Homo-oligomer: A and B are copies of this chain.
Amino acid sequence: MQVTVPMPSSVPPLGASFETELVKAVANITATEDEGLGINHIFGPVLDLGRELRWGRVEEGFGEDAYLSGELGHAFVAGLQQGKRRGAGENASARMAATCKHFAAFGSPQGGLNLAQVSGGERELRTTFLKPFHRACLDSLSIMTAYSSYDGIPAIANTHMLTGILREEWGYKYWVTSDAGSVDLLVTLHGTCDTRECAAKTALENGLSGEMGGGTYTFLTLTDQIKEGKVDVKYLDETVKGLLRAKFALGLFENPYPYEDYTSFIRTPHSREVLHQADLESIVLLENKGGILPLKTGIGSVALIGPQADRVTFGDYVFFNASLNGISPLDGFKQYLNTTSSSTQINFAQGCELWSNDESGIAAAVEAAQSSDVAIVMVGTWSLDQTLLWTPGTNATTGEHVDVHDLALVGAQLKLVQAVKATGKPTVVVFVSGKPVAEPWIQAHADAVVQQFYPGELGGLALAEIIFGAVNPSGKLPVSFPRDVGTTPVFYNYLKGSRPIDAGQVLDNGQLIFGHAYVLDSPVPLWSFGHGLSYTTFNYTDLQISPSTISTTEDFTVTVTVHNTGSVDGKEVVQVYITDVLSSVVTPNQDLVGFQKVNVPAGGSATVSIKVLSSQLAVWSLRNAWVVEPGAFTVKVGTSDQVFAQGTLMVA
């Protein structure tokens, strides 16, 4: 397979790692396709953090980590905006307006319920929720506010965030808009306005110059309010400036409708290659007991089982019937085997529906497994496109306003997996899901587990290539997988001391083993942030931290050599985590500060250097300022739950 985004061979600049280049390339294709269709404004990236896993919109973001979300978000904004629209004048500077959303602190709603309030203080706001926006959005031509309230203040009325931080502290100068109908929510949801006029005034005075659809067009009241002197026209002038800056940057006044030949923009050979690669890079191998994967070339037969096997599952923000353009895993397997002239037979059986307890199809699935050399069972969560998702009578388990109380598989899916495994055939479970699935039985008993988050159109083909070993998997988890909804949150960078571990357990035979935290379960995730296996093995040596002692304003570089100790080529994501050993406020037990995917040939090695900025060491102090505090920092290369190499950085 052609690697469209070249793998780095030396130290990349911060924020220009392989992963961010790939995201940028995907965003670039998105901009190209949209430009062809006459679209000049995209409502992404989503920088809400996936830390409350019941929330339906976890599928839309970059995972649980603020740093990762900021880096990928930054790349997405850059990829969308870089270049110029056709026909734009010489002063234009962007091809497409990105929209960072949702500003801010939307991703941890109480109870996981969309629109619900978020609890938090200034320190959590700064160190967690705002970080990705600060990294990714200063050049984004627009920002969309959140629906929720944070410590009792609705996002669109939060003068501290919108004026104090975004405009004054960060100097953000472009367009800020509400989310759909959220200006009305000041009246209907939050009770902080009694009239549409009040809501419009509040939003405008907080710098919002856009009111998305879904509401009652409250901004239409502003003309009269300004005429009557109830709203100072300066707010209108100021916010219109931001809107006009975005439009001038796009060159919209020069050639607003340049889309006469859109077909040449859509589904080009280049875009297919990049999107194919993105689908391959994002598959995560979670378990591979006894090296059951990849399947042997020439294996006689494979049972492809489960409700996700002959189905294309995308996230919810896709157009009507978008999934008809996708390749299902069943089609992908057939394509792959056909292309490679393989004689391997595929025995398909759906087994059950995603949304039903009906077990009548399990017998056929068991039969398919029994008559095959290996069984692959595909289960997970699902969403629907924007038309279907809101059609009465349909159902989904992820998507906006689709919040779950349980993270286990729905309906008969687990029973299907258990019945197939009971045949004694090697059983590979593939989760296609928009968020972590909490099924400890599968982690304990499946021979292999593969995670495919909602893919692009080529997802089914990419999965086949991974399963059969044409491509070695190299994805890492951007989000931790809990054992149960009752053991959430499980994000890896909890504040020090916040996760006592004294686990209990329920054995498969039902026997209860009592602990204290939790009495009958464990707060340790099934798979933690950063985890992901390969078909080869890696060893890390020669960790260097340079300089090993820095001043509070000095950056440093972490260098390490990765050895491929297996027999096939592989890619590895080198991940750097730091722990602030002593701090004036309670800091996370660890935080990701850098990552870099590299190619390492079998038997070979690669030396990777990752630059870390001193600002990444800062705490939000008791005096409400970013401060890098002298002292020791532990520098770890590994994953959030594994140490491959470790050293100490001193800040003098």
Mark A residues whose CB is within 8 Å of B: 54, 56, 108-111, 113-117, 119-124, 127, 149-154, 159, 185, 188-194, 355-357, 395-397, 401-407, 410-411, 483-489, 494-500, 502, 510-512, 514, 516-521, 523, 580-587, 620, 622
Q: In the complex, are the beta carbons of B151 and A120 less than 8 A apart?
A: yes
Name the distance in Å between A57's Cβ and chain B's nearest Cβ: 12
Establish whether residues A192 and B498, one from each chain, have CB atoms under 8 Å apart when the complex forms.
no
For A396, the chain B residues whose CB sits under 8 A away are: 514, 519
Q: Are A583 and B124 in contact (CB under 8 A)?
A: no
- B124 engages A519 (CB within 8 Å): no
List B contacts of A581 (CB < 8 A): 191, 194
Asked if B520 and A405 make an inter-chain contact with CB atoms under 8 angstroms apart, the answer reads yes
**A355 touching B404 by the CB < 8 A rule?**
no
Residue of B nearest to A412 (CB): B510
| Separation of A396 and B485 alpha carbons in the complex (Å) | 21
- Extra inter-chain contacts (6) besides given A116-B494, A405-B486, A411-B512, CB under 8 Å: A110-B489, A149-B586, A190-B586, A355-B512, A406-B484, A485-B486
Closest Cβ of chain B to A597, distance in Å, is: 31
Known A-B contacts A121-B151, A406-B520; A116 and B486 likewise in contact (beta carbons under 8 Å): no
A494 touches which one: B117, B188, B357, B397 (CB < 8 A)? B117
* Contacts A/B (CB < 8 Å), 25 sampled: A113-B500, A116-B498, A117-B495, A119-B120, A121-B150, A124-B151, A127-B152, A152-B585, A190-B496, A191-B496, A191-B497, A191-B583, A191-B587, A355-B514, A401-B500, A401-B502, A403-B516, A403-B517, A404-B519, A405-B486, A405-B487, A405-B521, A407-B486, A410-B519, A410-B520
Contact A117 B191, beta carbon cutoff 8 Å: no
A403 and B519 contact, CB distance less than 8 A: yes
Query: Given the complex of chains A and B, what is the CA–CA distance between A537 and B460 in angstroms?
Result: 63
Partner of A514, one of B110, B395, B483: B395
Closest residue of chain B to A153 (Cβ to Cβ) is B585
Provide the residues of chain B in CB contact with A495, threshold 8 Å. 110, 117, 149, 152
In the complex, A520 Cα to B402 Cα: how many Å? Answer: 10
Shortest Cβ distance from residue A515 to the other chain B in the assembled complex, whole angstroms: 9
Residue ID in chain B nearest A497 by CB atoms: B189
A523: contacting residue among B113, B154, B498, CB under 8 A: B113
Nearest chain B CB to A334's CB is how many angstroms away? 31
Given the known interface contacts A402-B519, A620-B152, the answer about A582 and B499 at a Cβ–Cβ threshold of 8 Å is no
Q: A395-B514, A489-B110, A516-B401 are in contact. Are A497 and B190 (CB under 8 A)?
A: yes
Distance in angstroms between the alpha carbons of A411 and B154 in the assembled complex: 43
Q: Across chains A and B, which 10 residue pairs bring their CB atoms closest together, nearest first?
A: A121-B151, A405-B486, A189-B497, A395-B514, A121-B121, A116-B498, A405-B518, A357-B510, A405-B521, A485-B486
Q: Is the CB of A497 within 8 A of B116?
A: yes
Closest residue on chain B to residue A405 by CB atoms: B486
Give bound CA distance, A620 to B124, whole Å.
Answer: 20
* Whole-angstrom CA separation of A502 from B400 in the bound complex: 13
Instruction: Choose one: B121, B402, B514, B587; the contact of A120 (CB below 8 Å).
Output: B121
Docked Cα-Cα span, A516 to B398, in Å, equals 9
Q: Which residue of B395, B489, B519 is within 8 Å of A111 (Cβ)? A: B489
Give the nearest-CB partner of A393 in chain B: B514
Q: How far is the CA of A126 from the CA of B402 in the complex (A)?
A: 32
Question: Closest B-chain residue to A109, C-beta based?
Answer: B498
Least CB distance, A184 to chain B, in whole angstroms:
12
**Known contacts A486-B54, A584-B192; is A114 also within 8 Å of B404 by CB?**
no
- Identify which of A150, A523, A580, A583 gathers the most chain B CB atoms within 10 Å of its CB: A523
Q: CB distance A499 to B152 under 8 Å?
A: no
Contacts of A405 in B (CB 8 A): 483-484, 486-487, 518-521
